[in-house]
Structure 1
């Protein structure tokens, strides 16, 4: 009787031990996967093994490159240009208003420099503009023009002053000081600015050509943004061939109509006193500016 009871207890104990063994995860050769010293974690066990990336996927990963290399703008001409206002923050118009020119707004006294190497053509150091007549020939006040080595004429007007040594025939380099930004001419009642215009060479009587024939803002954009070889030469020569070297005046012409056909005139000879026996009897001749255009090449 007693031996039968012991046998049943042994059977129950064996069944319990067998069930517990079956609920444990087993590894290779029946070895438990859980470390004996670590309590089992409930939920999904963390995977600690590193899965290697297949070689064909690793090859598709972009390689780490060096810093980008800046490529200089393409060389578009043999000439090198400079933005005509140096050392100051500027703004300028990019649209056609009355004439194909632009107004470069800059603080008083900023440097107006030669946009390209060339020769000084015209210099006006006197501000002759009058609001009463608003003559087109005087609207730029003090101004300097140069004939660039590219054959193009550049005008900077409304100047406060003209730089020392700048006179007709003077050779200048690109970036050389020609004058200082001001508010002369019809800019008298506005903020200081530079009247900037592109044209071709003519005689001083054809002042309306000097005031601007070629839209300048695309070239200003390029020179300011780093493409310093974009040249207005081709466009300027093409337009001169189309319009002629001295096209008819169309803007602010009436106030100075007489200047379009200037004629030599004599000044009255003063009356001689009886005591003035050594006066020269020759007439004093005053000539207006020539109408003959200069070489426009």
Structure 2
């Protein structure tokens, strides 16, 4: 039908509708909220609903509640002083070979220096002055292979704690036994403490008793520090391997 005034047909409304569709999708239609207003933009978890114009955060951006597994290369092993007592003293040196005698009252708790697995336990004092020197010098003793690869050895104990047996896992600070004077301790209450690599098994007493000086590490742990002997012990083993037993048993535990 032609208009009487102009003679032209009226234009269809389709182009106008096409122009309105993007505006509606963008939230610009009459009555739509301000995209920058409260509740319309995502500002983080719990800050409000996510609107159509703001995509939800990807899973990698959301904070994780899972506890990551510790990385051995970034998480150093925890170390604690091996005797839990107030009145404790130790010598920085030792006769015949590297080791340290830690002096404390008999009966004071001896604890695991770090997390690890029990290697050897001696619950019987087999030391005899007329017998072989060396293998039984320590009397009652416990050795622990730490998760850091170091063997921690304590001897002359008066008792080994119940449940402390070869293969048992322990945590730093867990009680292993009590200070005593078994073995060749000469009736002096103390803990012989040695650091070494695990070499030839249960008969490598000459290595187990100590191959690097413990005093610098004991001084750190006593002050609540965390200096670890793993690097020095590994360097010693690279240089010396697993040497044979000495001809003389020597002193100490």
Is TM more than 0.5 here?
Answer: yes
2:4 corresponds to which residue?
none
2:175 corresponds to which residue?
177
Q: Which of 231, 234, 243 is residue 231 of structure 2 equivalent to?
A: 234
Deviates more, 1:120-129 or 1:203-212: 203-212
For the residues of structure 1 that align with 2:230 and 2:194, how far apart are their CA atoms?
13
In structure 2, the gaps of 5 or more residues are 1-73
1:37 corresponds to which residue?
none
* Aligned-residue offset at 1:207: 1.5
Query: Aligned in 2, Cα 1:79/1:251: closer, same or farther, shift over 3 Å?
Result: farther
1:193 corresponds to which residue?
190
Q: Is the 8 A contact 1:82 1:114 kept in 2?
A: yes
Deviates more, 1:128-137 or 1:175-184: 128-137
2:204 corresponds to which residue?
206
> Secondary structure, in 3 states, of the residue corresponding to 2:81?
coil
2:45 corresponds to which residue?
none
> Secondary structure, in 3 states, of the residue corresponding to 1:222?
helix
For the residues of structure 1 that align with 2:227 and 2:247, how far apart are their CA atoms?
29
Once the two structures are superposed, the pairs formed by residues 242-257 of structure 1 within 5 Å of their partners are 242-244=239-241, 246-250=242-246, 252-253=248-249
1:141 and 2:131 aligned: no
For the residues of structure 2 that align with 1:170 and 1:201, how far apart are their CA atoms?
16
> Secondary structure, in 3 states, of the residue corresponding to 1:86?
coil
Q: Is the 8 A contact 2:109 2:177 kept in 1?
A: yes
For the residues of structure 2 that align with 1:230 and 1:129, how far apart are their CA atoms?
34
Number of residues of Structure 1 aligned to a counterpart in Structure 2: 176
* Aligned-residue offset at 1:79: 1.3
Q: Is the 8 A contact 1:88 1:110 kept in 2?
A: no
For the residues of structure 2 that align with 1:102 and 1:204, how far apart are their CA atoms?
21
TM-score (norm 1): 0.57
> Secondary structure, in 3 states, of the residue corresponding to 2:124?
coil
For the residues of structure 2 that align with 1:251 and 1:142, how far apart are their CA atoms?
23
Once the two structures are superposed, the pairs formed by residues 1-297 of structure 1 within 5 Å of their partners are 78-133=76-131, 135-187=133-185, 189-202=186-199, 203-227=201-225, 229-244=226-241, 246-250=242-246, 252-253=248-249
For the residues of structure 2 that align with 1:86 and 1:252, how far apart are their CA atoms?
33
> Secondary structure, in 3 states, of the residue corresponding to 1:122?
strand
Query: Aligned in 2, Cα 1:146/1:243: closer, same or farther, shift over 3 Å?
Result: same
Q: Is the 8 A contact 1:77 1:231 kept in 2?
A: no
How big is the alpha-carbon RMSD for the aligned residues of Structure 1 and Structure 2? 1.6
* Aligned-residue offset at 1:77: 6.3
For the residues of structure 2 that align with 1:130 and 1:118, how far apart are their CA atoms?
31
In structure 1, the gaps of 5 or more residues are 1-75, 255-297
User: Can you list the C-alpha shifts for 1:93-127, whole angstroms capped at 9, x where unaligned?
Assistant: 10242110010000010000000010000000000
More helix by share: 1
For the residues of structure 2 that align with 1:217 and 1:147, how far apart are their CA atoms?
19
